[in-house]
Structure formats: C-alpha cells, structure tokens
A and B are shown apart, each in its own frame.
Chain A
Amino acid sequence: MPLLKPDPTFYPSPRLAMQAPPEKHAFVAALNPPGSKLNDALLVVDVNPESATYGQRVGEVKMPKFGDELHHFGWNACSSALCPYAPHPHVERRYLVVPGIRSSRIHIIDTKPDPRRPEVVKVIEPEEIFARTNYSRPHTIHCGPEAIYVSALGDPNGEGPGGIFLLDCETFEVLGQWEMNRGPQFLHYDFWWHLGFDTLLSSEWGTPNMIESGVQPDLLLGGKYGRQMHVWDLRRRRHLQTLDLGEQQQMVLEMRPAHDPTKAYGFVGVVISLKDLSASVWLWHRNNGAWEVKKVIEIPAEPADPEKLPAMLKDFKAVPPLVTDINLSLDDKFLYVSCWGTGEFLQYDVSDPFNPRKTGSVRIGGIANRTAHPSKPDQPLAGGPQMVEVSRDGKRIYFTNSLYASWDEQFYPDDVGSWMVKLDADRDGGITFDENFFLESKDYRVHQVRLEGGDSSSDSFCFP
C-alpha cells in the first residue's frame, strides 16, 4: 500500500540525512563458519545506548536453506526515490534484499512491523537468476531511482563476465542484465554511481572460480586479479572508459563516491600491491569530461615474526594491511579504511580529496598483533576490522571482523572468530572504542552491517 507522505527515512540530500535520528537497530549478515550445520541468518543488534540490551543480539531470522554465505545486502528503497526524474517517494524502506554469494539465492526480508522479528517473505532461487541474467554470485545491492541494482561476480559456471542485474523494486522480479554494451569489462566486484552525472563506476575482484576456493597465490603473483575500474553511462548502460590502476595493484574492491551529487569524485580501496604488499586508496575524479584515477593513500606492510604468520605470508616476513572495506561519511568529510591484515582501522579527513589527512587510528585483531578489545584486554582477537558502516550523522562507526569464508581460513587459519565493535567519532576528527559495545558471536561469523533507517552506504541522493 503506498504511503500518503514520503517515507520518513528518505532525505533529499546527504546534508539533510545527517540530521536523521540515531539508529536503534543494526542488521548484521551472519554466516555459518565452515563445518557448521547452521543455516545463515540475519541478526538484529540493539544499538540504542539507552536500552538495557545495548550491544546485544535481540533478534534473528534464519535463511530457509543451507549454505548461502550472506554477503553484502541492501534496502528495497532509499532516498533515491525522491529523485526528480523518476519520483516515487511513497514506497516504504522496509525490505532488506539479502543475497547469498555462495548459493546465488536472494532473500527478501521484511523488517516491519517489528524490526526485532524480521521475516523472509520471498526467496529468489538461483535458477531464476541464472536463467534471466546469465549471472551468479550476487552480493552488493543499491537502490537506484528506477530499480534495485544487484552486483554479480560471474556467470552461472563461475566464469566471467561479472556484472550488474536489475530487480523490480516493488515485485522483486528479476528483470535481467543491466549492461547494454559492456565493452572490454570482464572482471567485476563493486559498483556505485554519481546520479548527478549519469555515471556508474564498477571495480574488479575476480571470477567466482578465481576466489571461491581461496586466494590463489599463482593468480595473485601473476597479477591476474582485478586491477581496473570501469566508467559507464548510467543512462545508456554503456561502457565508457577503463581506468587502469597499474599492474602491481591487485583486487580493486569497495567504491565510495561522494554523496553530494554535484561532486564528481570518489574513493576505491585496493587490497594489495605486488611491489611491497602495501594497500592503497585511490581517488577517481572527473577532469574536463574524462575520468582519471590517482593514488591518494598508501598504507605500508608491517614487518612481523614469521612464526606468527600463516603459510602464505611466512616468506614475506610481513603483514599486508589488506584494505578490504572503506566507507565515507555523508558529508564527504571522513573516509574510514579497514586494514583487515594488520588490524588497524583508520580515519582520514578527505575534505580535500586529493590530500587525505590521517585523523584517527585504532587497532583490534590483526594477523600478527591480535590486539584485544579495551573491554576485554586479556583476550587476543583474530580477524581484523572489515565491513564498516557509518551512521548517518557520522558520529558512530560499526565494523565486523570476517571477510569471506575461504579467505578467512587462509589468513586466520586458527579461526577468524566473530565480533562486532562500535567506535565513537569526533566531528573534528578522532575515533575511540565504545567500551560498552563488544559483540562476540559463537555460532555465526558476522559480516556486513546495515543500520535501521539507512546509513552512509545505503542511500543515493539527487539533491546537494
């Protein structure tokens, strides 16, 4: 049933969205660790500091089948419904679209009327996605102005090309491949857009067969994983330009364009450089109509005792930072960078996007360090900062510690564990752990976090 006024969680501009009330619940993708017989689940975590159950699990919904590996999920509708060219603001932000990257199954989960008791209301089976899109391994969801966009790593056989397909945002019917002309694009991972410039950008990881059994050292050392970005005409669905980050760069993952639709730049994280195991963040920007890309942050590898390193890293005597997720606050001011390898979590002031300034750093977990959480200082932690989410007002940062099941085993072979933490961010720069928020999970590995009402990577805006 359509609403009479716009959904209260829709904001015309990122600036207005920053005035949104603080979130009360977080939804967290939870996957069964290898060897477990559990079905994956979506957990509900209480993030209201006033509540007696603050920082605890207060609800969950199990997926109907085994072996999904829930990954990155998103909403059925968001602030892009206010976009002037395809307005439909009287739909509800209500359903989470939750894909399994292993199973290629997509779940539609209703978060109303009670966000603590979400329900699976529809399941899109992998066969339907294969038949209608010739894609598989769906993972990232963005609510576009006219449909739900879903990223997919590859084809049904686990080869390429990967790409994007569309779901109807009311019926959740699988509509088909998004691309009209993909040009030279083959590898795929993340995507997002600049709505004000009718431009979509995509990144590259690897085909399902290149990643599903773990990172393959021969492919990595041979530079076979993704190292490019692609620029697309969002309106005509055509490939426009390839941006090559260089042959040393491997695995170009999460993309965070400026939220302000009048700004034509954004950030993308690169997991590793073959030259020195460093990780980096690159800035893409528009210059005289063409898009360019430039490295703006480089994070060096940290020397470590080989005794503390997994087999794959022993010879290098160093821990690579492994930047696996980044996130940008809604005012485009602070960029957050997860270093899953070294266990460092960084905050940069990117008011001048060409010259990021480091303003904060905390450590937790890490391949060699195993840093504890301040609330339990005697308990070393495996895993590291990974999927990060920033509240709309930019004051609270949440992150979890697992990456992708088969890769977790390679980098943290003694068990990656499962925890979620929260940081408080100072609006002038600086981050600190909230000592009252340390969620450990014995049964599931926690992965992506979405905040009730929206967060800093859930919405797109058409007004500055």
Chain B
Amino acid sequence: MSDLWPWLAVFGLGMFHGINPAMGWLFAVALGLQEQKRAAVFGALPPIVLGHALSIGIIIGAVLMARMNLPHRTLKIAAAVFLFAFGFYRLLRTRHPTWVGMRVGFADLTLWSFVMASAHGAGLMLVPFFLPSPTAATMHHHDGHEMHAWAIANFSAPSLLAASVAVHTSGYLLMTAIIAILVYEKLGVKILRRAWFNIDLIWMLALMITGVFILVF
C-alpha cells in the first residue's frame, strides 16, 4: 500500500485541480449555456483536459530529465527554491488572466487550459513525487524489503511520465466532468456566488509549503 500512495496522491491532486472553477469546468458550463446544449459541455472537455495534461506533463518531464542529470541534492534545493518562489510571487502579485473570448475552438481551448494550468503552477504541485532518486530507492530495497512493483522509483522515465500524466489527468477529468454536468444540469451558476472560494490563496500557500517540505525531508 505504501507504494500506491504516491499514485493516489497524483490522482487526488488531479481531482483537486479539477475542482477549481478557473481550471476548466466553468468554461465548459459557460459554453454549454451559450450554445444551449449539453453536448457543448462534453465537447469542451477533451481540449480542456489535453491542455492541462500538456502543462503538467512538461513539468514532470523536466523534473525527470533533471533527475537524470543533476545530483539529487542540487535538484532538491532547486525544486524547493523554485516552488517557494513561484508561490510567493503569485501570492504577492495576484495578476488575473487576460484571455478574452467565448468563441473558442479546439486549439483555443487547449491553449487556454494549458495557460491556466501553467499560470497556476498546477504541475509544480506534483514535483515532490518525482524527486526521489532511483539510487535512494535501490538502497532502500537492499535493506531487505521486497521489490515494489508500483514504487515510482522503479519506473523508467518515459513510462513514469506517461503513467503519471494519465493518472493525474484521469482524476482531473473525473472531477471536471462531474462538476460541469452537475452545475449545468442541477445546481446552476448561482452556486458560484456561494461556493467559489479563493482557492488561489490556499493553492499558492500549498506550493510554498511544498517547497519547504522538499528541503526539510
């Protein structure tokens, strides 16, 4: 079970990203309402998910590349500093997005989702799961534990990238689709007035804390 928890966390973070109205479901609902058909809500999901997957995939890919080329300690410090700085910067400078446009096609929506996920540092939140070096895991393994098939450290970089993007994006898609259709069909957009908490604040603090966490552990 202890080997599965990082995967559950990667999936869970996908769901967490999916909750954020700024990250996709609200746009899908708006397009459905504008077109006045449910199919438009579903039609918006593939590009929104693709854009998100690209954004977090690039970050995970970069970490895996760095892991192969940098000493573990350097990578840890670099990642910690980057996460903390990004969170701190976004906390102080609450610039909101400046995309304009409701008439969006597949490419537009993919790009929009990519930009929103990247600007929120969605991929950065996943970084800690990909920092443990294979060497550390091997030593751990030599200590007499069994071979863990699901341990993240046992994956080759390309398959780890593919698997983690797939797992994260599944969680994200699940949440985005559920909320979008629930709001479109049942709750209505009036829920925004009550339930749209300022996730950005928590989000950026989480990034900063993750940065500190990486350094300490």
Contacts and interface: CB of A to CB of B under 8 A. Distances in A.
Interface of A: 2-6, 8, 10-13, 16, 82-91, 144-147, 170, 195-198, 234-235, 261-262, 462-464
A5 B194 contact: yes
Interface stretch (B28-36, B134-142, B143-151, B171-179): B28-36
Q: Give the interface centre of A10, A12, A197 by most chain B CB atoms within 10 Å.
A: A12
Contacts, number: 102
Nearest to B21: A87
A262 B103 contact: no
Contact of A198 (B27, B100, B194, B201): B100
B112 A262 contact: no
29 contacts: A2-B200, A5-B197, A6-B192, A6-B196, A10-B193, A11-B193, A12-B189, A12-B193, A16-B193, A82-B196, A85-B97, A85-B100, A85-B102, A85-B112, A86-B97, A87-B26, A87-B97, A88-B96, A89-B192, A90-B198, A146-B97, A170-B96, A197-B103, A198-B101, A198-B102, A234-B100, A234-B101, A261-B102, A463-B189
B190 interface: yes
A5 B21 CA distance: 13
B94 interface: yes
A337 B6 CA distance: 64
B217 interface: no
A262 B102 contact: no
B193 A6 contact: yes
Nearest to B94: A2
B74 to A, nearest CB: 35
B192 A12 contact: yes
A89 B191 CA distance: 13
Given A196-B34, A261-B102, A262-B34, A82 B97 contact: no
A116 B30 CA distance: 37
A464 B33 contact: yes
Smallest CB-CB A-B distances: 7 pairs = A88-B96, A12-B189, A146-B98, A84-B27, A235-B101, A84-B30, A84-B26
A153 B158 CA distance: 59
B22 interface: yes
A302 B102 CA distance: 45
B34 A87 contact: no
A195 B102 contact: yes
Contact of B201 (A4, A85, A86, A170): A4
Contacts of B190: 12, 16
Nearest to B196: A6
B186 to A, nearest CB: 15
B100 A146 contact: yes
A462 B98 contact: no
A85 B101 contact: yes
Contacts of B95: 170
Given A13-B189, A85-B27, A87-B97, 18 more contacts: A2-B94, A3-B198, A5-B198, A6-B196, A12-B189, A84-B21, A85-B30, A85-B100, A86-B97, A86-B98, A90-B198, A198-B103, A234-B101, A235-B103, A262-B34, A463-B29, A463-B189, A464-B34
Interface in B98-144: 98-104, 112
A86 B190 CA distance: 18
A8 B190 CA distance: 12
A364 to B, nearest CB: 38
Nearest to B31: A84
Q: Give the interface centre of A3, A88, A197, A262 by most chain B CB atoms within 10 Å.
A: A88
A261 B29 CA distance: 14
Contacts of A195: 102
Contacts of A144: 100
A95 to B, nearest CB: 16
Nearest to B102: A196
B39 to A, nearest CB: 16
Contact of B36 (A16, A91, A262): A262
A431 to B, nearest CB: 30
